[in-house]
C-alpha cells in the first residue's frame, strides 16, 4: 500500500511539473509582450550587505502578487499593480534549463522525498517492532500536521514567502501524509471505527481544499487525487453507501466552488471525470443501493453543467459532455434498478434539466436533443424486458414533456422541432411495436391519428422555413405521414395497407405543392417505394411471375396473385404517380425513377388483366392460345406507344412503351417462344393467321412510328419476318414446327424475290436509298439461293424454265434500275435560262 501511495505522489508530481511547464510558457509570453511594448522588468541593483534591509521588515507578497508572478490568474483578482511595484529577478522572470533543473524541480522532488520519508519511517518502525500500532498511527498523523504547519510557515516566513512552491510542496506532502495516517488507523489496524474514520476523512479533505485555495493548482491536484482516493483508503463501504455518496457530493461541490472561484477549468473537468469514475465503480461493485448512486449521477451532471461555464470553458461540447454522460450513466443504471419508477424519475429529472438549460441558453440545445434520443433508447430497452417496470409510465411522461416543450418553443430554434417530433412520435411508435397488446387496435389507431395531427401542426407552424431543409417543416410532414400510415395499418388487413400508404404520399404531395419546398417534393417518391415494399406477398408473387415469364416459362399466369390483391397494390400506386406528376417539380431528383415506377406498376397491372380472359395455366391452353395472347399484348403496347408518341409531352412514354412492345416481340416470338420451334397454334388460314398478321402489324407500326431511316429499317426487318412466316404457315398450317419441305424452300425464293422487287420499286418511288439497297441485297441473296440451292434440286425442263425466268427478271430489273440511276437528279435539272441560251 505504501508503494501505491508513493506512486500516487509521483503522479501528482508529474501533473505539477506539467502545470509548471505551462506557467513557464505563460511567463515567457508575458515577458516577450512587455519587451515588444518597450517595458522591461525593473531589476534593482543589489544592496550592500551592510545596508541590506532587515529581513523582518521586508514586505511579504500577497496572494495576488504571487499569483501574478507564477502566471496564475483568478477571475476576481484586483488589477495589476503599477509597473515597478513588483520586484523580479531576471533569473526568475526568464526561466531557463539551469533555473528549472537547479531551482524548481528539486522542490517537488523534495516534497515526494518528504512523503516517502514519512512512510518509510513508519514502515521501519513496523518491521522493527519498535512502535505499536497506535504510536505508529499517531506518528504518521503528527508528521502530516507538521508538514501542513511547515507549509503555512513557509508561506509567511520572509525567506520562503517569495517562492510559493515551497509552501505548495509542503502542503501537498502534508495532505498525502494525512491520508496515509487515515489508512493506517482505519484500514490497516482498525483503530478507528468506520463512522469516525469517515468523519476524519471529511476533515482531511476539507483541509486539503483549504490548502488548495491558499497555495494554488499544485496543491489542488493533490487535494483532488487524495479526496477521491480517500474513500478507498478508509474503505468505501465502511460507513455505508449513503455517507460515501454524501461525501463525494460535498467534495465534488467544493471542488467546483474552488474551480469557479479561481477560474480553474481543468479542476472542474477533472472533478467531473473523477466523479463519473466513482459512479461506474459503484455500478460494478454494488449489489443494491443503485438508486443513491444514480441520484449522485444526476447531481454531478447538473453541477458540472453549471460550473463549467463559470470557470471559463467556452467549448459547447465540453459544456454538454456532463449532461450527456449523466444521461448515458442513467441508461446503465436502469437495468440494475429494474426500469422502476425511481430509475425513470431520475432520468426524466435530468432530461428536464437539459430542457431548462436549453431554454435559457441555446448552446445546450444539442444536449436536450441527445436526451430525447437516449430516452427513446431507454424506452425501447425497457419494453424489450420481460418485466419492463415503469417503462410505460416513462414513455407517457416523455411524450408529454418533450412533445409539449418542443411545441412551445418551436419558433426559437430548429432543434426544438426535433425534440417536439421525437416526443410526439417516438414513444408511441416504440411501445406500439414492442407492446402492441397493451391496447386494442382502434385505440392505437386513435392515438396515432392524434399524434399525426400534432406532427402536422409542427410542419404547419414551420411553414415559413421553405427550402431551408427545416426539420420542423420536413420532419413534421414525414412524421405526420408515418403516423397516419400506422393508424391505417392498425385498422385494416395487410392486403389494404398499400392504399393507406398511397393516401399519405398523395397528402404529402399536396402539401409539398403548396409549400414548393424542394425537400418536401421528394418525399412522395419514397411513399411510392414503401407502398411497393409493404405489398409483401403480392409484390413477391408479381416478381416471381415476371422472372418466370422473362426466362421463357410458358405458364407465368399460374404464379400471379389474385386480381383483387393486384388492384389493391398496383392501381393506387399508378394512380398516385399519375396525379402527382402534374407538378413539374414533384419528386425532385427522383422524378424519373418515380414516374418510371408508376408506369411499371400500371404495365404490370395491365399485363395481369390481359392474362385474365384466356387464363393460360396448362400446356394444352398454351398450345392453343399462347401465341395469340402474346401477340395481342404486344400489339396493345405498340398501338398505345404509337398513339402517345404523336401527342405533345408524351413522346418519352410513347417511345418507352413502343420499345417495350418491340422487345417483347423479339424476345418471346422470335427467340424464346418462336412458334417454329415451340408448338403453338397460329391459325389455319393462309395469310389471315396470327403469325403473319402479327409480324405484318409490327412492321407497319415500326414503318410509320417516326419518319426516318432508323424506324423504316426496323419495319423492313419485320416485313421480312412476316414474309417468312407467310410461307412457313402456308406449308405447315397452324402448328409451324417441323422440317423445311421442298415446296416451302421454293416458296421462300418466290416470296423473297417479290419482296426484293417491292423494296426496289418503293425505294425508287420514295427516293429512299436504304430501301433500294435492301432490295438489292435481298435480290442478290435470292439469286445465290436459286443458283446454289434451288436449281441443284431441279432437272430437265424445270431447271431450264427456272433459269430462264430468273434471267429475264434480272435483266428487267437491271434495265429499270439503270434508267433510274441515269435520270437527272433534282439538283442536276437545267435551269430555264440555261435552256434558252442553248436554243
Q: What is the mean pLDDT of residues 584-608?
A: 89
Q: Which three cell numbers stand for residue 134?
A: 497506535
The pLDDT of residue 660 is: 93
Q: Compute the distance between CA of residue 677 and CA of residue 732 in angstroms, rounded to an integer.
A: 13
As a whole number of angstroms, the distance between CA 276 and CA 293 comes to: 10
User: Which range, of 100-109, 169-178, 686-695, 721-730, averages the lowest pLDDT?
Assistant: 100-109
Specify whether the CB–CB gap between 610 and 540 falls below 8 A: no
Higher pLDDT, 218 or 101: 218
* Residue in 664, 505, 670, 499 with CA at minimum distance from that of residue 590: 505
Q: Where does 263-315 have alpha helices with state H? A: 265-285, 290-310
Q: Is the dihedral of CA 401, 405, 408, 414 positive or negative?
A: negative
Model pLDDT, residue 209: 63
pLDDT at 109 over 70: no
More reliable by pLDDT, 660 or 259? 660
Angle between helices 316-336 and 265-285 (to 10 degrees): 10
Say if residues 392 and 446 touch (Cβ distance below 8 Å). Answer: no
Res. 19: pLDDT tops 90: no
- At residue 240, the pLDDT reads 63
Range scoring the smallest mean pLDDT among 186-200, 325-339, 603-617: 186-200
Report which listed range, 36-40, 171-175, 618-622, is most confident.
618-622
Helix axes 2-36, 105-128, angle to 10 degrees: 170
**pLDDT at position 324:** 87
Q: Does 316 have pLDDT greater than 90?
A: no
Report the pLDDT value the prediction gives residue 494, as an integer from 0 to 100: 85
The pTM of this model reads 0.65
How many Å from the N-terminal Cα to the C-terminal Cα in the chain?
A: 135
What proportion of the chain, given as a percentage, has pLDDT over 70? Answer: 66
* pLDDT-wise least confident of 67-76, 389-398, 497-506, 538-547: 67-76
Query: Largest Cα–Cα distance in the chain?
Result: 158
* Measured distance CA(94)–CA(172) in Å, rounded: 26
pLDDT in tens, 393-436: 999 999 999 999 999 998 888 899 999 999 999 999 999 999 88
Please enumerate in sequence order all residues whose Cβ is within 8 A of that of 194, keeping only pairs 6 or more positions apart, or say none. 186, 234, 235, 238, 239
Residue bearing the bigger pLDDT, 138 or 618 = 618
Q: Average pLDDT in the 687-704 region?
A: 93
Span 440-482, pLDDT tens digits: 999 999 999 999 999 999 999 999 989 888 999 999 999 999 9
Q: Which residues contact 334 (CB under 8 A, 6 or more apart)?
A: 343, 344, 347, 378, 381, 382
Whole-number Å distance between alpha carbons of 697 and 591: 34
Distance between CA atoms of 791 and 682, rounded to whole angstroms?
32
Rounded distance, CA 1 to CA 126, Å? 14
In terms of pLDDT, which residue wins out, 183 or 489? 489
Q: Cα–Cα distance between 694 and 716 in angstroms, integer?
A: 14
Q: Tell me the three cell numbers of residue 717.
A: 426487318
Instruction: Classify residue 5 by burial, with Cβ atoms within 10 Å: 0-12, 13-18, 19+.
Output: buried
Give the separation between CA 835 and CA 224, rounded to whole angstroms: 119
**69 or 320, greater pLDDT:** 320
Residues 620, 625, 627, CA angle at the centre, nearest 5°? 120
Buried b (16+ CB within 10 A) or exposed e, 498-510: bbbbbbbbbbbbe
What the block records as the C-alpha cell of 617 is 395455366
Q: Hey, what's the cell of 398?
A: 416523455
Interval 705-732 mean pLDDT: 90
Q: Report the mean per-residue pLDDT for the chain.
A: 76
Q: Radius of gyration over alpha carbons of the chain, in Å? A: 48
Please say whether the beta carbons of 430 and 422 come within 8 A.
no
Say what the pLDDT of residue 680 is: 94
> Which tens digits make up the pLDDT trace of 520-532?
999 999 988 898 8
Residues 205-240: tens digit of each pLDDT: 666 666 665 666 666 666 666 667 656 655 555 556
Residue 582: pLDDT above 60?
yes
Q: Look at residue 833 and tell me whether its pLDDT is greater than 80.
A: no
552: left (phi over 0), alpha (psi -120 to 50) or beta: left
Indicate the burial class of 333 (C-beta count within 10 angstroms; 0-12, 13-18, 19 or more).
Answer: buried
Percent of the chain with pLDDT over 90: 28
Amino acid at each position: 500500500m505504501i508503494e501505491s501511495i508513493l506512486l500516487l505522489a509521483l503522479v501528482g508530481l508529474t501533473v505539477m511539473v506539467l502545470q509548471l511547464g505551462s506557467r513557464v510558457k505563460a511567463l515567457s509570453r508575458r515577458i516577450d509582450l512587455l519587451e515588444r511594448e518597450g517595458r522591461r522588468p525593473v531589476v534593482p541593483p543589489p544592496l550592500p550587505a551592510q545596508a541590506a534591509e532587515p529581513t523582518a521588515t521586508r514586505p511579504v507578497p500577497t496572494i495576488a502578487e504571487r499569483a501574478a508572478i507564477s502566471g496564475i490568474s483568478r477571475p476576481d483578482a484586483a488589477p495589476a499593480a503599477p509597473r515597478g511595484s513588483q520586484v523580479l529577478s531576471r533569473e526568475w522572470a526568464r526561466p531557463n534549463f539551469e533555473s528549472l533543473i537547479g531551482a524548481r524541480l528539486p522542490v517537488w522532488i523534495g516534497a515526494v522525498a518528504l512523503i516517502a520519508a514519512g512512510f518509510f519511517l513508519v514502515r521501519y518502525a513496523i518491521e522493527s517492532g519498535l512502535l505499536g500500532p497506535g504510536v505508529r498511527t499517531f506518528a504518521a498523523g503528527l508528521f502530516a500536521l507538521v508538514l501542513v504547519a511547515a507549509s503555512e510557515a513557509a508561506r509567511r516566513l520572509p525567506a520562503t514567502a517569495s517562492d510559493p512552491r515551497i509552501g505548495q510542496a509542503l502542503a501537498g506532502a502534508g495532505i498525502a501524509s494525512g491520508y496515509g495516517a487515515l489508512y493506517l488507523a482505519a484500514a490497516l489496524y482498525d483503530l478507528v471505527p468506520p463512522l469516525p474514520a469517515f468523519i476524519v476523512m471529511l476533515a482531511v479533505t476539507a483541509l486539503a481544499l483549504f490548502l488548495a485555495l491558499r497555495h494554488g493548482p499544485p496543491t489542488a491536484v493533490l487535494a483532488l487525487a487524495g479526496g477521491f482516493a480517500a474513500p478507498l483508503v478508509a474503505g468505501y463501504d465502511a460507513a455505508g453507501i449513503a455517507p460515501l455518496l454524501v461525501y463525494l457530493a460535498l467534495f465534488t461541490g467544493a471542488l467546483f466552488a474552488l474551480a469557479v472561484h479561481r477560474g480553474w477549468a481543468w479542476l472542474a473537468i477533472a472533478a467531473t471525470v473523477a466523479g463519473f469514475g466513482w459512479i461506474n465503480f459503484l455500478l460494478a461493485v454494488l449489489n443494491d443501493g443503485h438508486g443513491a448512486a444514480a441520484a449522485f449521477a444526476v447531481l454531478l451532471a447538473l453541477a458540472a453543467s453549471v460550473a463549467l461555464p463559470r470557470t471559463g470553458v467556452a467549448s459547447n461540447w465540453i459544456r454538454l459532455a456532463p449532461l450527456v454522460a449523466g444521461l448515458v450513466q442513467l441508461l446503465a443504471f436502469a437495468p440494475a434498478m429494474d426500469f422502476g419508477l425511481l430509475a425513470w424519475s431520475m432520468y426524466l429529472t435530468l432530461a428536464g434539466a437539459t430542457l431548462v438549460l436549453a431554454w435559457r441558453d441555446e448552446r445546450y440545445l444539442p444536449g436536450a436533443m441527445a436526451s430525447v434520443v437516449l430516452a427513446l433508447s431507454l424506452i425501447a430497452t425497457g419494453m424489450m424486458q420481460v418485466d419492463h417496470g415503469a417503462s410505460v409510465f416513462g414513455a407517457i411522461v416523455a411524450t408529454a414533456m418533450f412533445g409539449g416543450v418542443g411545441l412551445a418553443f418551436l419558433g426559437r430554434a430548429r432543434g426544438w422541432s426535433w425534440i417536439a417530433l421525437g416526443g410526439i412520435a417516438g414513444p408511441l411508435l416504440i411501445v406500439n411495436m414492442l407492446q402492441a397488446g397493451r391496447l386494442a387496435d382502434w385505440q392505437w389507431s386513435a392515438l396515432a391519428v392524434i399524434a399525426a395531427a400534432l406532427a402536422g401542426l409542427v410542419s404547419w407552424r414551420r411553414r415559413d422555413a421553405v427550402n431551408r431543409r427545416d426539420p420542423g417543416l420536413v420532419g413534421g410532414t414525414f412524421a405526420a405521414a408515418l403516423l397516419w400510415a400506422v393508424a391505417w395499418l392498425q385498422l385494416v388487413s395487410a392486403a389494404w395497407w398499400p392504399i393507406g400508404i398511397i393516401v399519405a404520399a398523395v397528402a404529402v404531395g399536396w402539401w409539398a405543392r403548396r409549400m414548393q419546398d424542394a425537400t418536401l417534393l421528394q418525399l412522395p417518391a419514397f411513399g411510392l417505394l414503401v407502398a411497393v415494399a409493404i405489398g409483401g406477398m403480392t409484390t413477391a408473387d408479381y416478381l416471381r411471375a415476371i422472372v418466370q415469364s422473362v426466362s421463357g416459362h410458358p405458364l407465368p399466369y399460374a404464379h400471379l396473385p389474385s386480381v383483387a390483391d393486384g388492384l389493391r397494390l398496383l392501381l393506387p400506386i399508378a394512380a398516385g404517380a399519375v396525379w402527382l406528376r402534374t407538378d413539374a417539380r414533384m419528386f425532385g431528383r427522383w422524378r424519373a425513377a418515380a414516374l418510371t415506377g408508376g408506369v411499371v406498376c400500371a404495365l404490370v397491372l395491365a399485363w395481369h388483366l390481359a392474362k385474365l380472359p384466356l387464363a393460360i395455366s396448362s400446356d394444352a391452353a398454351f398450345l392453343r392460345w399462347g401465341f395469340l395472347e402474346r401477340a395481342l399484348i404486344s400489339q396493345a403496347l405498340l398501338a398505345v406507344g404509337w398513339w402517345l408518341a404523336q401527342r405533345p409531352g408524351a413522346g418519352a412514354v410513347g417511345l418507352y412503351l413502343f420499345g417495350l412492345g418491340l422487345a417483347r416481340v423479339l424476345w418471346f416470338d422470335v427467340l424464346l417462344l418462336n412458334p417454329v420451334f415451340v408448338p403453338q397454334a397460329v391459325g389455319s388460314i393462309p395469310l389471315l393467321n396470327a403469325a403473319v398478321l402479327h409480324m405484318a402489324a409490327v412492321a407497319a407500326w415500326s414503318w410509320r412510328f417516326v419518319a426516318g431511316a432508323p424506324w423504316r429499317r426496323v419495319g423492313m426487318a419485320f416485313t421480312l419476318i412476316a414474309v417468312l412466316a407467310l410461307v412457313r404457315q402456308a406449308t405447315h398450317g397452324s402448328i409451324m414446327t417441323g422440317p423445311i419441305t421442298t415446296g416451302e424452300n421454293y416458296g421462300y425464293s418466290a416470296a423473297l424475290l417479290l419482296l426484293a422487287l417491292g423494296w426496289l420499286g418503293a425505294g425508287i418511288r420514295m427516293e429512299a436509298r436504304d430501301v433500294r439497297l435492301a432490295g438489292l441485297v435481298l435480290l442478290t441473296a435470292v439469286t445465290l439461293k436459286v443458283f446454289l440451292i434451288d436449281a441443284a434440286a431441279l432437272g430437265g425442263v424445270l431447271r431450264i424454265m427456272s433459269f430462264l425466268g430468273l434471267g429475264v427478271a434480272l435483266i428487267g430489273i437491271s434495265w429499270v434500275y439503270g434508267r433510274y440511276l441515269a435520270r437527272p437528279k433534282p439538283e442536276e435539272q437545267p435551269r430555264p435560262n440555261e435552256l434558252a441560251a442553248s436554243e
